[in-house]
Structures are given as C-alpha cells and as structure tokens.
Amino acid sequence: SEISDPRGTMYQAIAEREYEGLITNRLGIQSIPRVQIGQTLFNSVKIPRENILGNKGQGYKNLFSGLVAERCSIIGSSLGIAWLTAVSGLIYTNLRVQFGRPLYDFQGVSLPQAQNFTELMAATELGFKSASEYNKTVERKHFDQQKFVKYNAAFSSGTKYLASHLAHKISYETQQLCGGIAFTDNLRIDKALEVAKVQEIIGGARNIQLDLVSRAIKDMISLL
C-alpha cells in the first residue's frame, strides 16, 4: 500500500513461508506462555496473483469488515473470564472459614463482590445487545450503508472496552478478596487475570475503542 493513501491502496494476500525474502519468527506472550504470535518480515517478497485475496483498496475492506465480529467474540470471552473469577471467588469466600465465620459474612468481602456481580450482569446484557445489533445488520445486509457500519463499530467498541476492562478488574479484585490461595494454581483466578490483561489489547487497545466511541458521540452532537 502507499503511505499517502493506505486504505485506498491496501492489498490482501497469502504469503507462504517458503517465499524468498520472507522471514517468520515466534514471539512469546509472557502473560499466557502457551500462546505465541508470529513476527513476519518482508524483504522484496513477490506474491503470485493467485494468492491475492483482495486487490487494490479491497484489501482494506476485507480486513476491516471482520472487526465488529472480532470484537463481539472478545466481548464474549471477556465476560466468560469475568464470570469465571466472580463465581470462583463467591464459592471460595463462602466455603473458607476465618475467625469462625465464612469470609463472605464480612462486609469487606461481600460488598465488593456484590458490586462486581451488579456490574457484570449489566455488562453481560450489553454484550448480548451488541451481538444482536451486529446480527441484525448482517441479516438485513446493511453493510453498504455507512451509518450502520459506524453504529456497529462504536457500539461494539464501547462494549469491548467495558467487558475487557471489567474482566481484568473483577479478576484482580477477586484475587485480593480470596487472599494468597488465589495466586496459586489451586484456583483459576490468577490464570484468568493474566488472560484478562490480553483481552484489553487484542482487537484494539482500550484507547482505540474509546476513540471510536468518541467519534460516534461527536457525530451525534453534529446533528443537534
């Protein structure tokens, strides 16, 4: 693609590893050691025409057409992480006895968990709404209308920001409420916390999501 017009000149193609000039490396992710991503370096690589999936300009459209669906899947996995840690913490604090009483009997433990569940239930409803709005756009084939594209982009971005941020917040706070055992593999909370950090980055970091929401708000203000 051309620097002066990246969107209008972007191609999409499949580059096979044996191509001359193509170098691939593995990059580890410390938060989730079992997952690695690929680093791809291009040095005058020639792509045959049959490997081109999107011609000039179409490559950008192909790439970005799947972003809302990607965000919806991240919303789902973020909510799953949040529910995992919230429920794990609830079970543990009701079973763990300290000072002759279950931990959950102390307001310093029960009230933060009640807040977490309240926020999580609201975020879950928003997640379902985001997915249903995207599904309606797909079923009605409205992707050729810019207003629906922008609406879905902003809605899914805001929800992705909220769900992924909440997954990290609930995992961290639940770990603190459960105490030292939550830092071990006896519970799944610590592993969930590490994965939650990644949820906030994949599909676009937090400020990218907020920027898309901010643009949508600015568009609404311009209509007043």
Question: Confidence class of residue 42 from pLDDT cuts 50, 70 and 90?
Answer: very high
Structure-token pair, residue 16: 């096979």
Per-residue pLDDT reduced to its tens digit, 124-150: 999 999 999 999 888 888 777 778 888
- Quote the pLDDT of residue 35: 80
- pLDDT of 19 > 80? The answer is yes
- pLDDT of 184 > 80? The answer is yes
Say if residue 87 is in the same domain as residue 133: yes
The residue to which tokens 């071990």 are assigned = 184
Neighbours of 103 (CB within 10 A): 21
Contacts of 85 (CB under 8 A, 6+ apart): 167, 170, 171, 174, 175, 188, 189, 192, 193
- Quote the pLDDT of residue 65: 81
Task: Give the residue among 132, 149, 174, 167 at the shortest CA–CA distance from 31.
Answer: 167
Structure-token pair, residue 171: 């995992």
Question: Confidence class of residue 161 from pLDDT cuts 50, 70 and 90?
Answer: very high
Q: What angle do helix axes 146-178 and 67-95 make, rounded to 10 degrees?
A: 20
Sign of the alpha-carbon torsion through 26, 60, 45, 14: positive
Rg (CA), the chain: 22
What CA–CA distance (Å, rounded) separates 123 from 130? 10
- pLDDT of 185 > 80? The answer is yes
Region 101-123: mean pLDDT is 98
Say if residue 146 is in the same domain as residue 173: yes
- Quote the pLDDT of residue 138: 83
What CA–CA distance (Å, rounded) separates 111 from 120? 14
What CA–CA distance (Å, rounded) separates 137 from 47? 34
Say if residue 127 is in the same domain as residue 56: no
Name the amino acid, one letter, at 207: N
Say if residue 149 is in the same domain as residue 78: yes
Name the amino acid, one letter, at 153: A
CATH number at residue 167: 1.20.140.10
- Quote the pLDDT of residue 6: 86
Structure-token pair, residue 80: 């799953």
- Quote the pLDDT of residue 148: 84
Q: Which domain holds residue 28?
A: 6-60
Tally the domains of the chain.
2
- Quote the pLDDT of residue 149: 84
What CA–CA distance (Å, rounded) separates 66 from 133? 15
- Quote the pLDDT of residue 202: 92
Q: Residue 90: in which H helix or E strand, if any? A: helix 67-95
Say if residue 97 is in the same domain as residue 130: yes
Structure-token pair, residue 155: 């809605």
Which of 185 and 64 is assigned the larger pLDDT? 185
End-to-end CA distance of the chain: 38
Q: Is residue 1 in some structural domain? A: no
Entry pTM: 0.87
